[in-house]
Copies of this chain bind each other. A is one copy, B any other.
């Protein structure tokens, strides 16, 4: 790295540049101060007033110079770093990057050196290009993000998990494991799951019924791959979790979509579908349906189990959202009922602890798990067994339980808060209060097309989804999941204020 060769530049700038003038701040501006600073630095770089390789003043110094809080300067530098305008040199500070984002030569287009400009001319899987996935890295982030329902990692015991991870990583046992024994997950975590799932949701299982995966999505992928062959029929809700639908479609299965109302999937429609087709699999999200957040009622759960026995189909029970309930206790999973091994039960700690903790699980008959592990070996060998061990310890010593209690309480407050705020947008946004989970299903009045709302919000620093058009249900085309868990009440109020302004500007 070039920049390592100019340590002598340190602090030079502090004496040279009149930062109080260059980085003038307008405290009345709607633009946050940290962004003003970042943008000003970008401007003086562009204008050549400050050169690549130059050190910026330390955060303490600049905070003093500008008479603002040091955290604001840190946020500004983070932003500059995220946009690649500065490099951060450990124990030295922030330096203007040698390769500036919009100035560097396009060296990768030289044909003599690289051949990745050409496209491989081989058949691809046909996929929906509508899916809102960007393959280019997005380096700039909006100030507020209304996600589709993720936990707030600030509440999660990530420090404890990290400490346990460090402790275990240093132990010799962490390096000792037999090849092939970890594809199903760390033995400790599988053991911990057995008691955790018994205590939290009445699943009476042994370790051979458990498997750790890289998140609920991988469980869905593996279960579906084992259960489905091309031409098979899968019953899903209408609408349903679109990435599960994509997995089933990729495997060549035919989707039978049944309506989802306030009590979950319509079981009469399921029965009719079973009479018409040989149904192989039904995919259900009993708490809380994705995207509409409804809970499958106990009566329908009983009926579903009865139908699965009568028509002999397997159930993929995606219970990713079991942990968060506010109005009442959760219903026990289908997997705890009389299903004679027909239920594949799926859960995830990515949804209950933090989206970065990529650990999910699958509960199924032992022979199914054995084959699932074989498939998992092919997909990605195994997970991070040290992290899995560390999570097992946190489950067993009660840290996870304590965190979930705390998070339930916080999210209950956040749900109350967002419901109150959204009441004031009645007529524009329509919703039913969910009994649990981390999102509200918000149906926008069709006079407020979400794509336009999202664009207008983005300009004001708020990200919201452009809508669930890809769910194949026009009725829900102008709706989104509004996650209320990841932001605290202050942040959410600021986000809703931006949204209100956008909506009331009558776009």
Contacts and interface: CB of A to CB of B under 8 A. Distances in A.
Interface of A: 1, 4, 75, 78, 82, 84, 87-90, 107-108, 110-125, 127, 131-139, 141-142, 145, 147-148, 152-154, 158-159, 162, 165-166, 169, 171-181, 183-184, 187, 190-191, 194-195, 202-209, 213-215, 217-218, 221, 225-227, 229, 243, 246-247, 250, 280, 312, 314, 336-344, 350, 356-358, 363-371, 373-375, 377-387, 393, 396-398, 463, 465, 486
Contacts of A180: 131-134
Given A184-B135, A373-B135, A380 B204 contact: no
A223 to B, nearest CB: 10
A79 to B, nearest CB: 8
A381 B162 contact: no
Contacts of A341: 115-120
17 contacts: A78-B173, A113-B336, A118-B340, A118-B365, A119-B341, A120-B341, A120-B342, A120-B344, A121-B312, A122-B226, A135-B366, A135-B373, A137-B184, A141-B173, A158-B169, A162-B169, A175-B486
Given A217-B380, A356-B387, 18 more contacts: A89-B397, A113-B204, A118-B341, A120-B314, A122-B314, A132-B180, A133-B373, A136-B208, A138-B187, A141-B173, A145-B176, A162-B162, A213-B380, A217-B378, A217-B379, A246-B377, A356-B385, A384-B384
A375 B396 CA distance: 35
B177 A141 contact: yes
B370 A135 contact: yes
Contact of A116 (B179, B364, B371): B364
Nearest to A89: B397
Contact of A145 (B159, B178, B382): B178
A397 B1 contact: yes
A344 B116 CA distance: 9
A468 B314 CA distance: 36
Given A112-B338, A125-B226, A217-B378, A207 B136 contact: yes
A344 B87 CA distance: 28
A341 to B, nearest CB: 3
Contact of A381 (B136, B166, B191, B243): B243
Contacts of A204: 107-108, 110, 113-114
Contacts of A172: 75, 78
Given A162-B165, A226-B124, A314-B122, A369 B135 contact: yes
Given A175-B153, A191-B84, A208-B136, A381 B116 contact: no
A108 B206 contact: yes
A136 B365 CA distance: 13
B378 A380 contact: no
Given A120-B342, A191-B84, A114 B203 contact: yes
Nearest to A209: B116
A357 B384 contact: yes
Nearest to A224: B378
Nearest to A343: B115
Given A119-B365, A314-B120, A341-B116, A190 B137 contact: yes
Contacts of A162: 162, 165-166, 169
